[in-house]
Amino acid sequence: MAKLTREAVLAALSTVQDPDLHKDLVALGMIQDLEVGDDGAVTGRIVLTTPACPMKERIQREATEAVAAVDGVSQINFTMDAVVAKPTTPQGDRLPGVKNIIGVGAGKGGVGKSTVSVNLAVALARTGAAVGLLDADIYGPSVPMMLGVASARPAVDEDRKLIPIEAHGIRFMSMGLLVPADEAVVWRGPMIGRAVQQFVEDVAWGDLDYLIVDLPPGTGDVVLSLSQAIPMSGAVVVATPQDVAFADVTRAVRMFGMLKIDILGLVENMAWFHCPDNGKDYPIFGQSRAPDHCAAMGVELLCRLPIDLAVSPAADSGRPIAVDAPDSEQTKLYADLAGAVASRQEILNHKRAKRSELKDFFRVVPS
């Protein structure tokens, strides 16, 4: 029998593609610490670009199967790991330790934007990612209550930076500290833009894979200035099934487009109610046309969430549904949403990196 070589193992692994990035694992540099023993034992790490990758099991299985087919392999052990990439954003890099800043916006208030922000942050943290949450909804800062930290005040470190409050596995900071809600109504866009930029930089976030930003609703000058002040790598928009909610969210999508912030996709919240008594689903806010609306806007429909009677009481008690009911359908949908958001961001980052490589290439190759 031919001796097993490292080259043969790498050749097998280069037949396995990352389904999101459409490139093989070896070319993507995802195979690390590969060891090929004389006894045919193969070990290594597969390093994904996000721990929330929904394709994790599939990639591990396909890599193991590909290597198992190589002559001379006696055993295989691939451990799964992840290092989140840091994209470049139009606003530049003002928060060096923070890799991806994802804004959560909505056309109007009351659609569940803060609920989605909080539970998305918790669901991302559950995958092992380092996650922060910034409550930037200065008009109705409900997140401190949802996290059960309404009376907590952040401490200041030796560099005079604010230390985020730890809650449910995420690092949290509220702009309510900068702008009390009753004063927020008189704040104007440019004023808040500068103050927010300073505020965000004055927080000791540490190293974060994802910072979720709960933005104010609408497309007024405050949210516009905020979106310019915070270097966002992507945005998620939230709407309820009504056509008017989609009309409003279209404006939000256009605003992010103007600011060159890529939309990762849309979450349709309160899409239906499942009646536990008769097992029927009721479209309380009307029959959803979310797929059509999303197609018209050129935005991906990331997730549809039902009305769940446990969501509000959980939030009011300071325990988001993803924490309070870990085995519920709603929590499962949030886990799927976390995977979808992370993989959309990963694809975008990959495309951006390729584009800047191409730019560099044309810069060095004389025409």
Q: Which residues bind ligand ADP (CB under 6 A)?
A: 106, 109-115, 140, 142, 217, 269-270, 305, 307-308, 311-312, 315
Q: Which is nearer to ligand ADP, 48 or 138 (CB)?
A: 138
Smallest distance, ligand ADP to C-beta of residue 133, A: 13
Smallest distance, ligand ADP to C-beta of residue 212, A: 13
Inter-CA distances, 362 with 52, 84, 283, 359, 366, Å: 34, 27, 53, 5, 7
Phi-psi region of 323 (alpha: psi -120 to 50; beta: other; left: phi over 0): alpha
Alpha helices by DSSP H, listed for 259-328, are: 290-297, 311-316, 321-324
Kindly state the DSSP code that residue 175 receives in the 8-state scheme: G
Smallest distance, ligand ADP to C-beta of residue 226, A: 15
CB atoms within 10 A of CB 85: 17
Residue pair 181/138 in contact (Cβ under 8 Å)? The answer is yes
Smallest distance, ligand ADP to C-beta of residue 141, A: 10
Q: Which is nearer to ligand ADP, 54 or 140 (CB)?
A: 140
Q: Which is nearer to ligand ADP, 13 or 215 (CB)?
A: 215
Q: Which is nearer to ligand ADP, 4 or 118 (CB)?
A: 118
Q: Which is nearer to ligand ADP, 32 or 312 (CB)?
A: 312
Smallest distance, ligand ADP to C-beta of residue 311, A: 4
Q: Which is nearer to ligand ADP, 253 or 307 (CB)?
A: 307
Smallest distance, ligand ADP to C-beta of residue 303, A: 11
Alpha helices by DSSP H, listed for the chain, are: 6-13, 56-68, 113-126, 143-146, 181-184, 189-201, 221-229, 243-258, 290-297, 311-316, 321-324, 329-364
Structure tokens at 221: 């000058």
CB atoms within 10 A of CB 327: 6
Rounded to 5 degrees, φ, ψ at 34 are -75, 125
